[in-house]
Chain A
Amino acid sequence: MHLAYPAVLAALLFCTGLYGVLARRNAILVLMSVELMLNAVNLNLVAFDVWLSRTTRETLHSGQALTLFTIAIAAAEIGIGLAIVLAVYRNRGTSDIDKLRDTAEGHETDGPDSDALTAEQAGRAGKTEATA
């Protein structure tokens, strides 16, 4: 098999995940796109490991070992990421990452969570931002 086939497929999958991370608004959809990018990297690792283990006779199998490690780290990442998303949802009532603008600069006009804030909470948020 030509090495170009898995390499091109991995590049396309990575760019699909890149589009998803940049364009999606729901935090869980962003996590799905991150999984796509991680899987593209895994495909590259497996393909190059198969190629190198045949051509250079190296028996370390570093590509496949690194793929297993990436899968385990991705599992840990998705657990922690979902816990963070659920904590944010419980506190803010939304998982829309476009509305989580507390640390952004230059958005004081619409404010954080402009549609969800009551006037009293908006005043309080403005006070805390003024003190910060």
Chain B
Amino acid sequence: MTLSAAEHGFLSPTGVEIAFLLVGLVTFGAALVTVTTRQLVHAALWLVVTLGGLAVEYLLLTAEFIAWVQVLIYVGSVVVLLLFGLMLTKAPIGRSPDADSGNRWAALTVAVAAAAALVWVVVDAFRTTWVDLDGPASGTTAVTGASLFQNWVLPFEALSVLLLAALVGAIVLSRKAKAESNSPPVNSRATTGGSPSVPDSRNHPIGGQAPVGQSKSAVEQGPAEQEGAR
């Protein structure tokens, strides 16, 4: 281990390392733009770049199946769900000046301190560790599927139950507020938007559309992963 690490210095990177570094720079830059931009829809679109860059990193680490699952689930459905959420909450299209809260400098201090500590510890711990990427890929669909269905069957099935519960829960959450808004005592404290009748009648079609979009995409998530795992 130490002998192989002595052969590989940081000053003579391999091609995979250079590619990883370049894609990592793009990924990190897109993540920075995601958390700092003031245009909400642009944040979701830069999140696509970040997640796609991470999929390329998984490919470079020979985890092929994880990369395609990442593209399917994250880029395919999670970002679409986020964009649905942005549209259903009537997010402003242009620049919104109140995207960042007042404690952003405290947040920046905490994040920079955490980044410095984590990078220092991680570099100090794994400076000499070498990952051998040659040989057969360790993350192909065959290998991942075999290990998943030989060793991880019970958690896998429990996870499908969790996805079903989350789907049912999302539908219940989207329907319960609609039923509650008909009973005045519960809703009287919750409604704050001026006269109750106009916002309610305007917002009810949104509430009716919300479970449809969520359940459809959640249904797509479940079979997509299970079908891919086989």
Contact = CB atoms under 8 A, between A and B. Distances in A.
A13 B143 CA distance: 28
Contacts of A22: 103-104, 106-107, 110-111
Contacts of A116: 192-193
Contact of A87 (B31, B151, B173): B173
Nearest to B5: A2
| Contact residues on B (Cβ < 8 Å of other chain), bracket | 35 or more
A15 B116 CA distance: 9
Contacts of A17: 31, 35
Describe B's contact surface by its main secondary structure: helix
Contacts of B73: 71-72, 74-75
Contacts, number: 304
Interface in B200-218: 203, 206-207, 210, 214, 217-218
B119 interface: yes
A77 to B, nearest CB: 8
A46 B58 contact: yes
A7 B126 contact: yes
A1 B165 CA distance: 40
Contacts of A92: 190, 192-193
B169 A64 contact: no
B28 A84 contact: no
A56 to B, nearest CB: 11
B89 interface: yes
Interface residues of A, number: 82
A128 interface: yes
Nearest to A39: B54
Nearest to B65: A64
Given A2-B10, A50-B63, A91-B191, A83 B132 contact: no
A93 B110 contact: no
Given A68-B225, A86-B85, 18 more contacts: A1-B17, A5-B20, A5-B21, A6-B20, A19-B111, A22-B110, A24-B100, A26-B91, A31-B85, A39-B51, A46-B139, A50-B62, A50-B131, A55-B1, A61-B139, A65-B147, A71-B73, A91-B190
B74 A39 contact: yes
Interface of B: 1, 8, 10, 14, 16-17, 20-21, 24, 27-28, 31-32, 34-35, 40, 43-44, 47, 50-51, 54, 57-58, 60-63, 65-66, 69-70, 73-74, 77-78, 81-82, 84-86, 88-89, 91, 96, 98-104, 106-108, 110-112, 114-115, 118-119, 122-123, 126-127, 129-133, 135, 138-139, 143-144, 147-148, 151-152, 155-156, 159, 162-163, 165-167, 169-170, 173-174, 176-177, 187-194, 199, 203, 206-207, 210, 214, 217-218, 221, 225, 229
